[in-house]
A and B are shown apart, each in its own frame.
Chain A
Amino acid sequence: MAKYFQQSLTQIVGPQKPQLEPLAGAALAKRSRVPPLMRSQDKIPALGRRIIATQSLRGASTWACIGGPVATGDCPGPLDERPVGYAFARVTPGCFLRLSLLYSPSGNTQALNTEGPPALESTGVGGSVIVRVTWTSQALSTTTTEHEIVLAPSQEDDGAPSTAPWATVRVAGVDLITPEIDSSSDKRRWTEHVAAEVSIYHRGGVRMVDLCLHEQPHVVVRESDDDATFWASHMFGMGSPEGPAQGLTTYAVQRWSETTPDGMPQGGTWGFMSSAAAQGLRLGPALVHWTPWGETTGTGFTTSPVVRSFSSTSFTRLWDGGAGTYSGTGVGWSMSSAAYASDAGECDDYWSDADRSVPVLVAVYADGRGTAPGVLRVQSHAFSWVDVATASTSGFNWYFGYGHLRCGKGPDDQVIAQAFMRRNGGSGTLDVAAVSVFRMGQHEHVS
């Protein structure tokens, strides 16, 4: 019978600075000095709020949903799902997702009434946001969740925008987005290194200021026979969720049990070392989440993905088709905080002590339209980039590339990442609808 161990991650805050002095040489060796360190290992996965996907105004000068009286092009249909963003993530073990919405009340919707002379008619003021997540477990089982959040409608005539938008912004969200969890085995399955494919839609007269889908630490469950690299929490103090409550491991200094099945993996020097290694492999920041959709660049109220298209066989800049050469002082994404997860063992030798790099997975949501394979390059230095090959396959798919990117030494050390795209042979045009970049340990090469 499987034996599970569970650690709640909801009540843990604060950076962990366990005292090391009691462990220094010439100090009396006492078991009581080790548990605080093991407990602290439990808390590391709870400190992240990695941002997986966003959709904000990004400087737009107007809403797409202008609202007001119905008029051609001013109001969307009431039921259409309009995609505004895609993202891919390997969810941090123990985390699920949480949605935050900062928005202005929604505007008017319209439809064409064909009974009699065709005429546009208002179909009501209102809007909603749909977040669809396809979860794939380590064992490749898949499930999809969908949440629709209905937003408050505008109180102005015909759902017009507020004349004081700052004063009328509202907050909404979903506190926890999870796959269906009925048992400890479900928890274990969905708190491993789970993949999440995210798509976000507007329906109706949405006026979003800032949408943010991020990770929310919740619970981590392991089965005693799980490989040690999955134990990114020590789970020192937790009992069995399906059996009688258990206190702390009896012995802080205790070997990882060699008894299989169902040994005791908690505690001990082996557990300590394995947890540290697993954290180094599995815990790291999400760095980039980009989609081309914008309030003023979306193609009307299209229900198709908004894309950047590329036909040139030379690199051009992803977001505006500009020059395909890297500039460390130009517009780009910040890579600086990746340095928090820069590991000695994973840092490319080239960067040595004066700089850092992190291993990253770059995910590209692209459509080769049947004729146009491509290469997307994410670059953070003249000599540091990751290429992702995209196929000519028709239809949107996620493509992945793995490599190191320079990240500097920390937030005080600004490092910019830019992205470039080109067609790689073939013919015609390829489309890109999203790019996600996140740190990923070297154990998980994705081909």
Chain B
Amino acid sequence: MATRFYLAASTASDSVTPAFSAAWTNTTGVVRRLLALATDGADTLASVGAQTWTAGQLRLSRQFVSGPMRAGQTISGTITAYARVLESNADDNAVSRLGVWVSSADGTTVRAVLLAVGNYGTSTEFATSNTNRQWASAAAISTPYVTQAGDRLIVEFGYTDATGTTPSANAIYGRSGASDLPQNETDTSSSNPWIEFSATLTLLDGGIAGVVEYGPDTIFYGEASTPTPTQLSVDLSGQDVDMAINAADITEVTSARFNLTDTAAWEFIVGCSNTANGSIYTYNSTQVQVQIVTGWILRLRVNNATVGDITLNDSSTRVRRVMICVSMEDNPFTTGASDAKRYEVLAYQPSSSGSIQRDVFLGAAPAATAGTALINVTGSNISTYAARVSRAFHSTTEFHRAFVEVASPTALSEERLEQPVPDVASGVGDDGHFAGHVHMLAGRALRTHDLRLWGPIVTEIFDPIGEALPGSYFLGSEPTTPNVDTLLNACYRRPLPPACNRVRVRVYVTISAGEVEITAYSANAAGHLSTPPAQAGYVVFSGTPTATAASGWIDCGTLAVARDADGYGYFWLGVEDIDPVSTYEISAVSIDPVLVVDDGPSEGLGLDG
């Protein structure tokens, strides 16, 4: 399935600044904008303004930068692109030029050139009024490229001339149109310019609002038992583009990957004896220091002052492994700057009687949130074997979100498989036999029987299947989100089994184009009578922006339930039509009861699970 991108007029790209391709000989005043997967009514179609060049030059008009892509995707096949443009005068003889390449996540490294800057259109001279032009027509990518996590697509639209006179051109970018430009060179409508890859490409956030796809933590782990800095410096997150490997340490160079946010977590596995005396991790030299110092003391220092010490157990002259965990969060009971943060320090020595030591300290926040980090790998009688720095430290140039921000809770529904119980004929419960194991086995069976009457609360196939929704009569508006249409024709009052505390909602949707958001609701009264409605983590289903239909099950996640006085719960669906060109159909709905349980320890018998 092809992937179509739109050319933002006003939406800025992520804060990366890939260099313009060297082939462009004139880049005066060029800006970067987002290469977007979706149209956006707020990103109004707009002229870029007259862009001049000296005859014969390759004039870059604009660079478009995509969000980070998923790893392992093959970019091959062809590229097609259309945009409206004009030349200022008929003797400008202006024509299109295009370049497409792939950069690393931070934009600093050229991963692959898909289309070198050149002519991939018809060479038809621009008109003097805004008219559609072909910038590429199924231009073949000669060398396929397999993406690495976070790679970005870079698209450069530009012009040149065929012996023109003081050439000047003016393209129109944006993505607010109701439709996309057709594949011709005559259209003058206010439609969206676009570039399309024949390959299926997905970005790391998948275009799914509300569902955050996190980049991995920054993790260093050497295969060797005592890795060298080089061995250890392989960042398993795949973003090892900004770390300098020195003789004894790994140092952050360019990005702000380790910059601090409100929360932080550092973990290290080190090898050392009681002769250790030095730092394992520093941030801005002295703002944060994790150390083991003389006296077999694990020390956390912030702002060049000691926040807390733990005197480690089992001092030994033998080198042993110590796992060190340090975390930082806001102190909810702070009385001022001096105790703004709460630090938790933990040391675990698996080879020393499984010693676990933990303490909590209050202290000031690090003085600055921006700086560079250093992981000492060797030296100070300490060897670092592995390091993990929370993704909360990822810089804005990397794909990231701070810790958990997922809209839907992760359900841990109970998985039931009956405990077999011997039958009476077995004789194990006869007089004269020990009864204890019978009671135990039957008791175990009991614990797995309690949900066995739970069936689907809603499992419906709409009739007629695929009737275009919404039926306008049945629409309501969601009070807290007015753009959401609530569907009375997908509304249910159903009995909730006692103890059911969540439901799993899935909806089968087909959309013709654009995207819609499907929201599942649960409440203790229907529609507007509910106060307030309980809202599931909504999930956006993105269809392709082409005429090709997309369909499938959307998992709305788990939804808390509410009961009315008779024990019934109300459920309904809401739809927000993100894209005005969308038409959608709902073909099936399923709501299954879930008992979300505390995944805590078993009840002491070791028999659970």
Contacts and interface: CB of A to CB of B under 8 A. Distances in A.
Contact of B453 (A54, A341, A347): A341
A209 B470 CA distance: 15
Interface in A1-32: 12-21, 23-25, 29
B599 interface: no
Interface string B550-589: 0011010000000000111010000000000000001110
A293 to B, nearest CB: 8
A331 B463 CA distance: 12
Contact of B455 (A25, A268, A337): A337
A297 B466 CA distance: 13
A356 B418 CA distance: 11
A17 B607 CA distance: 14
Interface in B448-468: 449-457, 459-465, 467-468
A285 B488 contact: no
Contacts of B429: 268-270, 272-273
Given A283-B453, A412-B413, A56 B460 contact: yes
B504 interface: yes
A44 B450 contact: yes
Contacts of A274: 423-424
Contacts of B421: 273, 276-277, 280
A51 B435 contact: no
B454 A340 contact: yes
B453 A61 contact: no
A245 to B, nearest CB: 27
Interface in A39-59: 40-41, 43-51, 54, 56-59
Interface stretch (A163-171, A196-204, A389-397, A398-406): A163-171
B527 A169 contact: yes
Contact of B593 (A161, A216, A320, A411): A411
A342 B420 CA distance: 12
A386 interface: no
Contacts of A92: 453
B474 A57 contact: yes
A320 B422 contact: no
B461 A333 contact: yes
Interface in B464-514: 464-465, 467-474, 476, 486-499, 504, 506, 508
Contacts of A330: 508
A297 B464 contact: yes
B438 A44 contact: no
Contacts of A102: 491-493, 526, 570
Interface in A301-356: 319-320, 329-334, 336-345, 347, 356
B336 interface: no
A228 interface: yes
A76 interface: no
A193 interface: no
A176 interface: no
Contact of A58 (B447, B457, B460, B603): B460
A212 B424 contact: no
Interface string A81-115: 00000000000100000101010000000000000
A97 to B, nearest CB: 11
Which residue among A45, A161, A336, A345 has the maximum number of chain B CB atoms within 10 Å of its CB? A336
A319 B463 contact: yes
Given A269-B439, A270-B429, A57 B489 contact: yes
Which residue among B454, B459, B471, B604 has the maximum number of chain A CB atoms within 10 Å of its CB? B459
Interface string B507-539: 010000000000000000011110000000000
B590 to A, nearest CB: 3
A37 interface: yes
A44 B491 contact: no
Contact of A347 (B417, B419, B440): B417
Contacts of B527: 166-167, 169
Given A18-B443, A20-B607, A60 B461 contact: no
Given A272-B429, A345-B420, A410-B414, A45 B493 contact: no
Contact of B447 (A16, A173, A333): A16
Contact of B435 (A14, A18, A253, A287): A253
A209 B488 contact: yes
A292 interface: yes
Contact of B473 (A56, A61, A341): A61
A166 B528 contact: yes
Nearest to A46: B498
A332 B507 CA distance: 10
A61 B595 contact: no
B436 interface: yes
Contacts of B586: 59
A256 to B, nearest CB: 7
B444 A47 contact: no
A165 B415 CA distance: 40
A237 B86 CA distance: 89
A174 B56 CA distance: 85
A75 interface: no
Contacts of A33: 439
A409 interface: yes
B445 interface: yes
A287 B453 CA distance: 10
B162 interface: no
A344 B491 contact: no
A277 B467 contact: no
B418 A59 contact: no
Interface in A211-229: 212, 214, 216, 228
Interface in B423-445: 423-424, 428-431, 433, 435-436, 438-440, 442-445
B553 A329 contact: yes
B337 interface: no
Contact of A15 (B467, B470, B499): B499
A169 B488 contact: yes
Contacts of B593: 337, 411
Given A334-B592, A336-B592, A59 B489 contact: yes
Contacts of B453: 44-45, 47-50, 92, 283-285, 340-341
Contacts of B419: 344
B416 interface: yes
Given A56-B460, A414-B506, A49 B415 contact: no
Interface string B376-394: 0000000000000000000
Nearest to B473: A62
B452 A284 contact: yes
B446 interface: yes
A171 B605 CA distance: 48
B340 interface: no
B528 A61 contact: no
A110 B453 CA distance: 44
A44 B456 CA distance: 18
B138 interface: no
Contacts of B450: 15-17, 43-44, 47
A339 to B, nearest CB: 7
Given A47-B497, A344-B420, A410 B490 contact: no
B452 A340 contact: yes
Contacts of A268: 429
Q: What 4 pairs across the A-B complex have the smallest Cβ distances?
A: A48-B453, A285-B455, A61-B471, A269-B429
Interface of B: 411, 413-424, 428-431, 433, 435-436, 438-440, 442-447, 449-457, 459-465, 467-474, 476, 486-499, 504, 506, 508, 526-529, 552-553, 555, 566-568, 570, 586-588, 590, 592-595, 603-605, 607
Given A165-B488, A319-B463, A411-B592, 6 more contacts: A49-B495, A61-B473, A61-B489, A92-B453, A269-B435, A333-B461
11 contacts: A47-B450, A51-B457, A100-B495, A161-B473, A272-B439, A272-B442, A273-B423, A297-B463, A333-B459, A344-B420, A414-B553
